[in-house]
Amino acid sequence: MERRTRDEAGRAACAAGSLTPARQRVLAVLQAQPQRVLGAYDILEILAATGSRPAPMSVYRALEHLMGVGLVHRIASLNGFVACHAGDRGAGHAAQFLICRACRTVIELDGPGVAHALEEACGAARFVPEGAAVVEVTGVCRGCRETQGDGDGGASCRH
């Protein structure tokens, strides 16, 4: 009897399991800070602090591979990387990110509705997107808003 592993989660786990040690280390750094955008050099520094310092090129190569298999996303607006929060969605899935420019926190939304709306809009405009649509929304997260404000919303405005 043929046993099919159609399960996407199984596939993602498989992808993670077959990683080389160097790729696993890079992935582990990103997964240890699940909502943080890290630049390639941040990753390099963390790796150097916990073991041997890898060559920058090996970090870039690892990131490229991890993005290819859908375990890591590139956040273009912050020029950094974040581990995928939806490891069962497969490589190249549509993703939406809420990005805090103050603390570099990233929240990956699981919103098929947004992806669907974009598909329809592209169709209406007869526009063919390259790969899955990725949306980056920059702003200020709840935590930063609470720290920045003095608890008395709008008190700093002296109109």
Of residues 61 and 85, the one with the C-beta less far from Zn ion? 85
Size, binding site for Zn ion by CB under 5 A: 9
Specify the amino acid at residue 76: A
Of residues 27 and 100, the one with the C-beta less far from Zn ion? 100
Specify the amino acid at residue 23: R
Contact track, Zn ion, 76-115, x by CB under 5 A: --------x-x--------x----x-xx-x----------
Quote the least distance from Cβ 73 to Zn ion, whole Å: 6
Quote the least distance from Cβ 110 to Zn ion, whole Å: 8
Instruction: Output the CA torsion sign for 24, 26, 27, 30.
Output: positive
Query: From CA 156, how far away is CA 41, in angstroms rounded?
Result: 37
Residues in contact with Zn ion by CB under 5 A are 84, 86, 95, 100, 102-103, 105, 141, 144
